[in-house]
Amino acid sequence: MTYLDHAATTPVLPQVVEAVAAALRQTGNASSLHAAGRAARRRVEEAREGIAEDLGARPSEVLFTSGGTEADNLAVQGLFRARRAADPGRRRILVPALEHHAVLDTVEHLAAHEGAEIGWLEVDDFGRVHADTLAAAIAENPGDVALVTVMWANNEIGTVNPVRELAEVAHRHGIPLHTDAVQAVGTLPVHFARSGADALSVSGHKIGGTVGTGLLLLRREAAVRPLAFGGGQERGLRPGTLDVAGAAGLAVAVHDAVMHRDERVATLSALRDDLVRRVSAAVGGVRLTGDSGGSVVDGGPSRLPGNAHLLVAGCEGDSLLMLLDAAGVECSTGSACTAGVSRPSHVLLGLGMAEREARGALRVTLGHTSTSSDVDALVAAIAPAVSRARDAAAAAARRAAAVTR
């Protein structure tokens, strides 16, 4: 099988497996005071310090979570509740409609149950939020905005947002900004201090770590209310026995992602450009969605280097996905968190696409194990798969027309 779905999850690095295995062989609760507990605590704190150095944060700003979804929830809910407690007039959450559901569903929950008001931020044709757009949204009523949340890079179409500029705009009005950086670490220059963000979410399994590990980078001065209670771990914001092995493995994954970022960006960009060029030549009616990646945003590429989000005219993305899978090529139509959902991607609809057009989406994402042979395999399989998918779509349209007659 040819694996081209690294945005969903990427293979665990061998050195991460070794670090996790070594930690699992050791006994000790990191909250215990005896020797085994102190040894466990030392491993956790060494991991915390390493991650802080690699991501431009202070060790005290690194909170371990179970993944990006928990980090998003803790940031968005925690910041909102703290702001409302300090100032009940702070009700509005500014967010683009293209966010991951870990953020969107959280914001919508707060609107349905806790009095939040959602201010939808407009995006350009690439799916990017601009600083002047955010400034205009805040200016409608600066005193009622509780927080801003904008993802660093879109998990479906790969477009990168200017987080530093957005944070500067928010901070001029004393508003905290959260960014979901789950897709950004490892291919973009993520530096917490320089970004200006008040909270930043990271997921381990997107960068070669294990599923069930993640981070929330949270500024010391940020006021946040916890989601759970029962212990004083992680600044009292994320109680529970610390996952020593998970922290150790995550530190290794973060370090590898940061240390090899430049070379991976070059490799993945070249592979992606070759993939888009050859697929477009092999199949008519294909176009790339999102930013082309030819410009610079916050010191990095304007599109995720390993992301090729394609719209294939005349066929259903789900059909194309299954035909490619049968041919030994694994990719996706969008976020793995919405796989199996019959409706088109909310990201594409948020860009103003018609449902029919959005149904032809195919997301191909490259990662640290990707090679030119993976691109060759996709190119070899794509034309027959598209032909069959288009035939199936045409037959379905004829049947639907017959029924309506």
Q: Give the start-end residues of each E strand in 213-319.
A: 214-218, 286-288, 296-297, 300-301, 307-312
| Pairing status of strand 286-288 against strand 307-312 | antiparallel
- Assess contact for 293 and 302: CB atoms under 8 A: yes
Q: For residue 373, what are the contacts with CB-CB under 8 A and spacing of at least 6?
A: 2
Give the pTM: 0.95
Question: What's domain 2-8+260-404's superfamily in CATH?
Answer: Aspartate Aminotransferase, domain 1 (3.90.1150.10)
CA–CA–CA angle 124, 90, 222 (5° rounding): 85
Per-residue pLDDT of the chain (405 residues; tens, 9 = 90+): 999 999 999 999 999 999 999 999 999 999 999 999 999 999 999 999 999 999 999 999 999 999 999 999 999 999 999 999 999 999 999 999 999 999 999 999 999 999 999 999 999 999 999 999 999 999 999 999 999 999 999 999 999 999 999 999 999 999 999 999 999 999 999 999 999 999 999 999 999 999 999 999 999 999 999 999 998 999 999 999 999 999 999 999 999 999 999 999 999 999 999 999 999 999 999 999 999 998 999 999 999 999 999 999 999 999 999 999 999 999 999 765 555 556 789 999 999 999 999 999 999 999 999 999 999 999 999 999 999 999 998 888 888 888 876
For the annotated catalytic residues, the residue numbers are: 337
CA of residue 53 relative to chain centroid, distance: 21
Sequence spans of domains, the chain: 2-8+260-404
How far apart are the C-alpha atoms of 334 and 329, rounded to whole Å? 15
How far apart are the C-alpha atoms of 276 and 257, rounded to whole Å? 24
Neighbour tally for 125: CB within 10 Å: 11
